[in-house]
Structures are given as C-alpha cells and as structure tokens.
C-alpha cells in the first residue's frame, strides 16, 4: 500500500509540474488584418503593384491634397474617408478597369467611383507645376552630357513631345479638334535621342493602364485624369518606384521615318544643317 501511495504522489507531482509549464506558455495573439484598409493588409510590393505608389508616397500625397478635399458622404449617408477616395482613384488610374468594376470591388456605386475619380484627379492636377517642370539651371550641364552620350546630339537638355490618349468624342462643334495625325521625319541620331521621351510616355502608360484604354469620362474629367497621372508618374520616379516588368516601347524604333512639319520651316532646316555640318 505504501508503494502505491508513493506512486500516486509522484504522479501528482508530475501532473502539477506539467500544468505549471503549460500555464507559463504564452499562446501567440492572433491579430487579424483590417481587410477594409489596403494600407494595413497589403505588403509594400503588393501595394505598389495595385496603386503604383508606395505607402509612404500615398501618405505624403494625401497630406498634400487633403486641404483641397471636402468630406463626402456615400449613398448610405456615411462619410467617406479621404484615404479611401484617393485609393479608389489611384486603383482606377492604375488598373484601367471600368468604373462599374471598381464599384463592385470597393462596394460603391458607379456614380460614387466617378465622383471620387474626378475630385481626386482635380486635387492632384492643381499643383502640377510642383511636380512637372523643366530642369533647373544647375541640372542642365549634367543632363546635356547624358543626352549627348545617347547618340552624339549636342545642346539637348530635355525632350518635348506629345502622346495620344484616346477619349470618347465630346461631340458638338469642336469634336474634330480632338482628331489628330502625327507625322515625323528625323535623322537617325535625332530619332535615337528623342526615343527617350517616347519610352517615357510608354512607361507612363504602362504604369497607369487607364491611359491606354479610351477614357469614357466627360472631356473635363478626362483632362484632369491625364494631368493627374502625369503628376503621379513624376512622384513615382522621384521616389524611385519601379513598375514590375521592363518596358520596350512598341510605338517607335531607331528605324522610324515619317514626315515632320517642324523640319519644313526654314529656320529649323537651317539649324539642322548647321548641326549636321558641325557635329556629323
């Protein structure tokens, strides 16, 4: 009987020790991510893939445009946070999805998405001069050297060009104003040098896919969306935010030849000949 009692006491001691060890164990606390806030549940890479800007860039942009925004209520009478308005607009510009698709994903009406896109685009486009400007004088020498290294074209510190963004016809008497034809006639060095801006436009449209799909918004809204995408693109470049895949411009190559009205002018032709004789 004494042996049995000792065994029971030993078992009780072991059981008490196990319980104490279990009590000392800390079960990790499970924290569920807020699925309503992409800033919280998306990692940095996933966030950039969807919104084309980093989380820090979006926060800074939100602080910049907030003074120009008003609190807006949705159809349920709830106030829509400025951050959500901004993220909806950025997603629309980055993805190229239709507004009805965006509304379904964000649980908003198409009218609400349209309203936020316009308001946010206008708020971003207003300070465009802070983000879109010609190089400063102290940058000119370095830029001139970089452009010269491309194909030996002297005296170049920047490229100015245009790119077509399709929109629906605005109708009315001015409808034909928005139908254009683009023709060029450059020599090989000029083409290779100006390819810099052609690639820039290509990357811009790759970053914001909405620009590669006909904009079906009102003309006034389409204009501010395009300007807002230009501002956002420059913000991304200034923060060295790259897009996922490398871009190869399909629109123009080194062997492109066309007819350019700018080179038909006597002054332009004279300057071109002078450059050719001196440098080529």
Note the pLDDT tens digit of each residue in 158-176. Answer: 877 778 888 877 777 776 6
pLDDT bucket at 96, cuts 50 / 70 / 90: confident
Q: Are the CB atoms for 203 and 95 separated by under 8 Å?
A: no
pLDDT, residue 97, reads: 76
pLDDT, residue 224, reads: 93
Domain definitions of the chain by residue range: 129-279
pLDDT, residue 198, reads: 80
Note the pLDDT tens digit of each residue in 28-60. Answer: 565 544 556 889 889 999 999 989 999 999 999
Whole-angstrom Cα distance, residue 121 to residue 206? 18
Question: According to the 3-state scheme, what is the secondary structure of the chain?
Answer: CHHHHHHHHHHHHHHHHHHHHHHHCCCCCCCCCCCCCHHHHCCHHHHHHHHCCCHHHHHHHHHHHHHHCCCEECCCCCEECHHHHHHHHHHHHHHCCCHHHHHHHHCCCHHHHHHHHHHHHHHHHCCHHHHCCCCCHHHHHHHHHHHHHHHCCCCCCCCCCCCCCCECCCCCCCHHHHCCCCCCCCCHHHHHHHHHHHHHHHHHHHHCHHHHCCECCCHHHHHHHHHHHHHHHHHHHHCCCCCCCCCCCCCCCCCCCCCCHHHHCHHHHHHHHHHHHHHC
Most confident of 61-65, 189-193, 264-268: 61-65
Instruction: Pick the more confident residue, 67 or 134.
Output: 67
On the question of pLDDT at 18 being above 60, the answer is no
Instruction: Pick the more confident residue, 8 or 191.
Output: 191
- The tokens for 167 are 């929109």
Note the pLDDT tens digit of each residue in 184-236. Answer: 334 565 566 667 778 888 889 989 988 988 888 888 999 999 999 999 999 99
């Amino acid at each position: 009987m004494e042996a049995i009692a000792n065994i029971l006491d030993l078992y009780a001691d072991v059981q008490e020790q196990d319980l104490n060890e279990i009590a000392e164990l800390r079960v990790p606390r499970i924290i569920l991510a807020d699925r309503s806030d992409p800033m919280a549940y998306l990692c940095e890479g996933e966030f950039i893939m969807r919104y084309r800007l980093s989380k820090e860039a979006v926060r800074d942009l939100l602080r910049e445009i907030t003074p120009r925004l008003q609190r807006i209520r949705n159809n349920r009478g709830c106030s829509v946070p400025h951050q959500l308005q901004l993220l909806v607009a950025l997603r629309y510009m980055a993805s190229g999805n239709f507004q009805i698709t965006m509304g379904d994903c964000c649980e908003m009406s198409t009218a609400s998405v349209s309203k936020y896109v316009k308001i946010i685009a206008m708020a971003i486009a207003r300070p465009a001069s802070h983000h879109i400007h010609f190089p400063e004088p102290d940058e000119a020498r370095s830029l001139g050297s970089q452009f010269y290294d491309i194909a030996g074209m002297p005296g170049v510190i920047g490229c100015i060009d245009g790119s077509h963004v399709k929109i629906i016809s605005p109708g009315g008497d001015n409808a034909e104003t928005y139908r254009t034809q683009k023709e060029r006639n450059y020599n090989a060095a000029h083409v290779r040098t100006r390819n810099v801006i052609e690639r820039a436009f290509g990357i811009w449209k790759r970053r914001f896919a909405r620009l590669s799909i006909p904009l079906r918004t009102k003309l006034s809204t389409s204009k501010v969306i395009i300007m807002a995408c230009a501002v956002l693109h420059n913000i991304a470049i200034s923060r060295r935010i790259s897009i996922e895949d490398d871009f190869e411009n399909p629109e123009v190559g080194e062997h492109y030849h066309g007819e350019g009205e700018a080179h038909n002018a006597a002054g332009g032709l004279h300057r071109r000949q002078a450059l050719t004789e001196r440098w080529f």
